Structure 1
Amino acid sequence: MDRQVLMQLDDYLKQHRYRLVNCVLVVRNGKIVWESYYNRYHADSRNPIKSIWKSIMALTTGICLDRGLIGSLDDPVSLYLPAFGRSIHPYHKLMTIRHLLTMTSGIYWNGGVHYHCPMMTQLLRSKDWVEHLADVQMASVPGMSFQYKEFDVVLLSAVISRATGAPAYEIARQYLYEPLQIQSGRWPESSCGISYNVMKGEVQSDLSARDLAKFGLLMHGNGIFDGQTIISPEFIREITAPSNPNYGFLWVLLRDGYGARGYGGQEINVVPELDLITVIQATPTDSSKSYGDIHEQLLKPSIIS
């Protein structure tokens, strides 16, 4: 590892005017080898994770599958959510848990601009989220088309809740967060009991950079962390298998690895061949940037060189 390259990090952030970056962390061979904090952040500071929550939901789904709480990824959604079995739309009965994990449900989605999303606003105002989503029109046959959207992960959370009798947060807390020694406040819940974690203004579920690194270590360890099997290696392999060229099960696929992404610059990057995990955290705003170049142009080269 070339520490001289990493010593250039402060200059790199200044040159690119990356004032919102709060932390850059590097793990090599299972150990933290570099941490830089900015904007009064430190090792115990927690940052909004935004859509990294989606990747955590994929891990939570794997736990449910391993423990028999969910029968199969190819179970129809209607088996758990009867609203999708009432023939409101003929495509509903074709939708499976796998489709939710790969964002190929076929439900119509218009994401709006940044976090100003009218479709999410309507959902948040509804009393029963599942009934609301069952009334949204279908844009395609499930499994035919990938579209990044919030609705699929909301439904995934609802499936976990109905399958286990507990909000998805409780499953993640007991079987994922506790073994990883991660402290987190309760995820927000809808009035109908569905856990959800990318709303504005929620801070209880924010995580530290070191917390995010643990998810990278868990993935890189094929579901094993600190000698304990938390998720089966088989499911980890499925997470990182391409459902389309750039996406697995709610994890993005990189040229030489995989990662998790959250709006406004939240990143976990795993490069298995280099035994490298990097974490970037930043303050998300409506005009936020992404900071993938820090990993590609600075952190990774510090290992390769």
Structure 2
Amino acid sequence: MPRVLRFFCFTVFLLTVFGCHFASTDETGTTLKPQKRSDGWQVSSLADKNFDTNLLMNMMEAIEKGKYVGISSVLIAKNNELVFEAYPGKFGINDIHSTRSASKSITSVLVGIAIDKGYLSSEHEKVLPMFPEYEGKIAAWSEQKLDISLHHLLSMTSGVKGNESAMYHSDDWIKFFFDQPLVNTPGRAFSYATSGAVVLGNVITRGSKKRIPEFSNTYLFEPLGITEYKWPITNSLGSQGLAMTGGGLQLRPRDMLKIGQLYLNNGTWNGQQVVSKRWIEKSVYPHSVSDLYGEGYGYLWRIIERKINGKPLISYEAWGNGGQFIMVFPELELVTVFTGENYGKFPETEQPFELLDKFILPVFLKGK
């Protein structure tokens, strides 16, 4: 795009999002102001809410000028309304985007729904007895593997050593998990294992007799008005075509935001109870401590404490490689979503942390 036209489009963006009352799009179809669409979101402008938007204007200018790279969407919901939406990259409002490991947090929702509906007895149900076909065939065998429960998979405390890169080259991702050596007694310490989240998806399928695409559509996506999504497929025994519940689910950013809003609203979306409040509370309780930054880890959700202008602020968050984030701030009635293209790049993947701390959260803390 010629630089003059890029400047014009960016200027229209600033005017549209922050000051005017009309919607506009650039030639890529990127929405420059939250539009009322038939997707269940109520929309409003920040200007109408009397928020000082100078910092958000500065954020978008910094992204436009290349200070922050690979940011493909930024969305904000406040008080159950979509109030900010920008797509500065090649992806637009209608495009689905990989959530990478943020998918794990959605898998947690699905496990909660399966328990709510009686397909699984509880999060304390043992895992290995659900897979009788592997009896006598598991490598690095230990009797302690019989103690691994859904709770351990959800809290990343199974004791199984994670080895994600090797999993992708194996021909059975479920058995791969059980074959890995134990590095700790189940329940004792945090050990990140994507393969454990893959097992959770198959557990749901075995309990409900529904494949993950059908289960998720019936009990989660359809109630949330999510119509566009794509589950990747795993390698599995007998080429069963099992959905990959450890990462890579593709969703529209607006629909990622719905997952965050669902958690903020204790499991309800537009008045419908989709997953129980009990499960939400369990999901965001710190059952373990991550070995990444020492943050709390719930049921496939990270519990983060930030300090903004010296004030602590708690959030629960879904994180994915490349810059995929769903972030829920209960105290502020706020949900933010980022998608990005910085796969395997650090610290670029974590640029949204600075965008939050420097540009977004101060706006809403001041407006409390």
Fold match by TM threshold 0.5: yes
Larger-Rg structure: 2
**Cross-structure match for 1:172:** 216
- TM-score normalized with structure 1 length: 0.89
Are 2:146 and 1:93 equivalent residues in the alignment? yes
CA offset at residue 83 of structure 1?
5.2
Unaligned runs of 5+ in 1: 112-116
**Cross-structure match for 1:67:** 117
CA offset at residue 180 of structure 1?
0.5
- TM-score normalized with structure 2 length: 0.74
Cα displacement string for residues 27-49 of structure 1 (whole angstroms, at most 9, x for unaligned residues): 11111111121124332222211
**Cross-structure match for 2:275:** 231
Secondary structure of the corresponding residue to residue 72 of structure 2? strand
**Compared with structure 1, are the counterparts of its residues 83 and 96 closer, same or farther at alpha carbon in structure 2 (3 Å cutoff)?**
farther
CA offset at residue 280 of structure 1?
0.8
CA contact (8 A) 1:83 1:131 kept: no
**Compared with structure 1, are the counterparts of its residues 186 and 238 closer, same or farther at alpha carbon in structure 2 (3 Å cutoff)?**
same
Instruction: Return 277-286 or 96-105, whichever deviates more.
Output: 277-286
**Number of aligned pairs?**
292
Residue pairs, 1:148-159, within 5 angstroms? 148-159=192-203
Are 2:193 and 1:193 equivalent residues in the alignment? no
Secondary structure of the corresponding residue to residue 145 of structure 1? coil
CA offset at residue 95 of structure 1?
0.4
CA contact (8 A) 1:265 1:280 kept: yes
CA contact (8 A) 1:81 1:130 kept: no
CA contact (8 A) 2:76 2:83 kept: yes
Q: What is the rounded CA distance, in whole Å, between the counterparts of 1:19 and 1:153 in structure 2?
A: 30
- Percent identity of paired positions between Structure 1 and Structure 2: 29
**Compared with structure 1, are the counterparts of its residues 33 and 186 closer, same or farther at alpha carbon in structure 2 (3 Å cutoff)?**
closer
CA contact (8 A) 1:83 1:130 kept: no
Q: What is the rounded CA distance, in whole Å, between the counterparts of 1:155 and 1:197 in structure 2?
A: 8
Residue pairs, 1:234-249, within 5 angstroms? 234-245=278-289, 246-249=296-299
Are 2:81 and 1:31 equivalent residues in the alignment? yes
Q: What is the rounded CA distance, in whole Å, between the counterparts of 2:207 and 2:240 in structure 1?
A: 15
Q: What is the rounded CA distance, in whole Å, between the counterparts of 1:188 and 1:37 in structure 2?
A: 24
CA contact (8 A) 1:22 1:283 kept: yes
Q: What is the rounded CA distance, in whole Å, between the counterparts of 2:188 and 2:297 in structure 1?
A: 14
Are 2:225 and 1:181 equivalent residues in the alignment? yes
Q: What is the rounded CA distance, in whole Å, between the counterparts of 2:365 and 2:80 in structure 1?
A: 17
**Cross-structure match for 1:285:** 343
Cα displacement string for residues 224-282 of structure 1 (whole angstroms, at most 9, x for unaligned residues): 10000000100100001001242100011011121111111011111111111111111
**Cross-structure match for 2:359:** 298
CA offset at residue 84 of structure 1?
6.5
CA offset at residue 164 of structure 1?
1.6
**Cross-structure match for 2:157:** 104
**Cross-structure match for 1:267:** 325
Secondary structure of the corresponding residue to residue 51 of structure 1? helix
**Compared with structure 1, are the counterparts of its residues 254 and 180 closer, same or farther at alpha carbon in structure 2 (3 Å cutoff)?**
same
**Cross-structure match for 1:121:** 168
CA offset at residue 135 of structure 1?
2.3
Match of 1:18 among 60, 64, 68: 68
Cα RMSD, aligned residues only: 2.0
Greater relative CO, 1 or 2 (CA 8 Å, sep 6+)? 1
Instruction: Return 51-60 or 277-286, whichever deviates more.
Output: 277-286
Q: What is the rounded CA distance, in whole Å, between the counterparts of 1:197 and 1:95 in structure 2?
A: 18
Secondary structure of the corresponding residue to residue 122 of structure 1? coil
Letter matched to residue 186 of structure 2: P
CA offset at residue 19 of structure 1?
2.2
**Cross-structure match for 2:189:** 145
CA offset at residue 121 of structure 1?
2.8
Q: What is the rounded CA distance, in whole Å, between the counterparts of 2:246 and 2:70 in structure 1?
A: 19
Match of 1:81 among 116, 131, 135: 131
CA offset at residue 158 of structure 1?
1.7
Secondary structure of the corresponding residue to residue 289 of structure 1? helix
Letter matched to residue 75 of structure 1: E
Letter matched to residue 286 of structure 2: P
Secondary structure of the corresponding residue to residue 107 of structure 2? helix
Q: What is the rounded CA distance, in whole Å, between the counterparts of 1:23 and 1:100 in structure 2?
A: 31
CA contact (8 A) 1:129 1:192 kept: no
Letter matched to residue 364 of structure 2: I
